[in-house]
């Protein structure tokens, strides 16, 4: 049986906020995203860290990340030897983030770091704050998303509204076991299900979304949706 996701037993320090930047073949986008996150942390005035997870990139993303670690304050880099997908990046972030609060941002720049200026004050009195966006996908993309959401509701029951970026308390994560081991969103869906069942105080807020800085989306396609749905059936059997 897969071991549950845990949290590091020892910490050199405890920043208030960890922002995990998820990067797979984002060499052209990573630096502006990381610098934007750094600027937002400065605006918030919080002690924080930026944890770049390079998910087995082959386009030089790892080299860019290592350069940023030497040039931008409070940046750490972790490299996956092979591409593990979103699920692998989330598991690494949950395990390795040192902050009292943890958030994840894709390195494509679609979610402005300024979202944190809304989420951080909103988490007062809550275990997790969830962002959601009104997407403007193609008809094909909207159909895929609608199908996926409908199946999630049937399989998992009513969950808080979520699509995009979230902010969660690390101490709350330490109270639940996350066992999903696939490449896709299953670990996040499992977190939401266990959050609801554990009585977490949740809040959902609208957040902006913008076009990628460059390149094409890696997630909005039938292959990814099918992978997520397959993991969903596996997840339901474990809950």
Where on the phi/psi map is residue 109: left (φ > 0), alpha (ψ -120 to 50), or beta? Answer: left
Answer whether residue 7 is part of any domain: no
- 181: confidence class by pLDDT, cuts 50, 70, 90: confident
Cα 113 from chain centre: 13
| Structural domain harbouring 115 | 17-238
* Residue 183 pLDDT greater than 70, yes or no: yes
Residue 12 lies in a domain: no
Task: Give the predicted TM-score (pTM) of the model.
Answer: 0.84
The count of structural domains within the chain is 1
Residue 1 maps to a domain: no
Query: Could you give the angle at the alpha carbon of 165 between the alpha carbons of 239 and 174, nearest 5°?
Result: 45
- Can you list the positions of beta strands (E) in the chain? 17-23, 48-55, 75-80, 101-106, 128-132, 166-169, 202-206
Is residue 149 domain-resident? yes
Q: What is the pLDDT of residue 213?
A: 74
Return the minimum-mean-pLDDT range out of 58-72, 126-140, 198-212.
Answer: 126-140
Q: How confident is the model at residue 29 (pLDDT cuts 50, 70, 90)?
A: very high
pLDDT for residue 180 is more than 50: yes
- Band (pLDDT 50/70/90 cuts) for residue 188 is very high
Cα torsion for 69, 71, 74, 78, to the nearest 10°?
-10
CATH number at residue 120: 3.90.550.10
Question: What is the spatial order of strands in the sheet that 75-80 belongs to?
Answer: 75-80, 48-55, 17-23, 101-106, 166-169, 128-132, 202-206
User: What's the pLDDT score for residue 221?
Assistant: 53
Would you say residue 2 lies in a domain? no
**Mean pLDDT to the nearest integer, 225-239:** 68
> What's the pLDDT at 185?
83
Q: Is the pLDDT of residue 10 over 50?
A: no
In this structure, the number of other CB atoms found within 10 A of the CB of residue 41 comes to 23
With a cut of 90, say whether residue 116 has pLDDT above it.
yes
pLDDT reported for residue 174: 96
Q: How much of the chain exceeds pLDDT 70, in percent?
A: 78
Residue 171 has pLDDT above 90, yes or no: yes
Q: In this model, does residue 13 exceed pLDDT 60?
A: yes
Confirm whether 8 is domain-assigned. no
In a domain, residue 228? The reply is yes
The pLDDT assigned to 182 comes to: 82
Domain assignment present for residue 38? The answer is yes
pLDDT-based confidence at residue 50 (cuts at 50, 70, 90): very high
**pLDDT (tens digit per residue) in 134-169:** 766 667 666 766 776 677 666 677 889 898 999 999
Q: Does the structure show a pLDDT above 60 at 2?
A: no
- In terms of average pLDDT, the best of 22-36, 125-139, 149-163, 207-221 is 22-36
């Amino acid at each position: 049986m897969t071991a549950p996701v845990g949290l590091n037993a020892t910490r050199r320090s405890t920043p208030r906020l960890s922002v995990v930047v998820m990067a797979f073949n984002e060499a052209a986008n990573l630096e502006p995203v990381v610098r934007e996150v750094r600027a937002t942390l400065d605006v918030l005035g919080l002690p924080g860290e930026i944890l770049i997870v390079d998910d087995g990139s082959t386009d030089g993303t790892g080299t860019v990340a290592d350069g940023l670690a030497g040039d931008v304050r409070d940046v750490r880099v972790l490299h996956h030897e092979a591409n593990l997908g979103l699920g692998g990046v989330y598991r690494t972030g949950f395990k390795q983030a040192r902050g009292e609060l943890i958030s994840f941002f894709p390195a494509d720049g679609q979610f402005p770091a300024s979202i944190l200026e809304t989420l951080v004050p909103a988490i007062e009195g809550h275990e997790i704050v969830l962002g959601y966006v009104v997407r403007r996908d193609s008809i094909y993309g909207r159909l895929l998303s609608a199908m996926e959401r409908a199946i999630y509701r049937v399989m998992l029951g009513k969950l808080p509204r979520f699509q995009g970026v979230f902010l969660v308390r690390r101490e709350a994560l330490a109270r639940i076991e996350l066992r999903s081991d696939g490449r896709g969103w299953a670990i996040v869906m499992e977190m939401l299900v266990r959050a609801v069942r554990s009585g977490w105080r949740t809040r959902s807020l609208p957040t902006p979304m913008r076009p990628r800085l460059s390149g094409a989306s890696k997630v909005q396609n039938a292959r990814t949706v099918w992978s997520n749905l397959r993991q969903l059936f596996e997840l339901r059997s474990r809950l």
